[in-house]
Amino acid sequence: MRDRLLALPSERVHLAAMLCLTFVTGIVDAVGYLGLDRVFTGNMTGNVVILGMGLIGADDLPVLGPSLALVGFLIGAAVAGRVLWRSPGVWNTRMTALFAVVSVVLAALGVLLLARGGEPDRLVALVVSTTLGAVMGLQAATARFLGVKDVTTVVVTSTITGLAADSLLGSGAGAGSVRRLTAVLCIFLGAVAGAALLLIDLGIALIVAGVLALAPTLLGDRHHRLSRPDRGDQPASCLIASGV
């Protein structure tokens, strides 16, 4: 297993990890929109649109929830940018730590909601949606730093644009079509899974999202350590200090 993982190119490992996180985003956005008063916590484009319509009272759309989720997203993305500042543009210990935070917070929120039982009240829903926005911002900024083409983990608008533009009906280039289509499918299936899990419990949906987010984190970290045997046994503090 170790040799097989080591034989995989970093690009393929990173792509698989980001696609898995894209699936997780589908779950989280389903939770936010269906379970937390129509708030997107990953897709900020949708959130901004809902906020704009909500400001004029259209269809009783929420304003406070999307606003707080947007602020949380910005803070999370800023934190990731600060942590990864001057780090090399490859998978490193700091990225592992940031993705691990996403996983742990998602699972912790799920446990919290599960322990409370029933539908969350207004205050709890706002706290949860704001926190989800923050961890999705953390995830998106970290994924952006890794730079897997066409896979941002939180939105697929640009992915769909590239898919159509390079299709046979467009330029005909076709480059990256499978990757793009897979990314769109992942977020779609994640939303389906999220909606289905909500039929069981809101907390269960977030716990599942947290567990799934841990898998690509461990995969990327393990591959990184196997690829860097000269540094694989160094303490995390040394790795962080050196920017690895």
- Residue 232 above 90 pLDDT? no
Convert the pLDDT of each residue in 48-72 to its tens digit. Answer: 999 999 999 888 899 999 999 999 9
Structure confidence at residue 241 (pLDDT): 43
Structure confidence at residue 3 (pLDDT): 67
Contacts of 234 (CB under 8 A, 6+ apart): none
CA-CA distance, 207 to 110, in Å (whole number)? Answer: 5
CATH of segment(s) 8-155+190-242: 1.20.1250
Structure confidence at residue 240 (pLDDT): 39
Q: Give 176: exposed, middle or buried? Use CB within 10 Å, 0-12, 13-18, 19+.
A: middle
Contact between 26 and 194 under an 8 Å Cβ cutoff? The reply is: yes
Convert the pLDDT of each residue in 89-107 to its tens digit. Answer: 789 999 999 999 999 999 9
Range 159-186 average pLDDT: 84
Structure confidence at residue 238 (pLDDT): 42
Contact between 85 and 79 under an 8 Å Cβ cutoff? The reply is: no
State pTM to two decimals.
Answer: 0.89
Structure confidence at residue 59 (pLDDT): 85
Q: What angle do CA 6, 11, 16 make, to 5 degrees?
A: 85
Percent of residues, the chain, with pLDDT higher than 90 = 69
Convert the pLDDT of each residue in 106-128 to its tens digit. Answer: 999 999 999 998 789 999 999 99
What one-letter code names the amino acid at 111? V
Q: Give 71: exposed, middle or buried? Use CB within 10 Å, 0-12, 13-18, 19+.
A: middle
Structure confidence at residue 191 (pLDDT): 97
Domain edges within the chain: 8-155+190-242
Structure confidence at residue 242 (pLDDT): 41
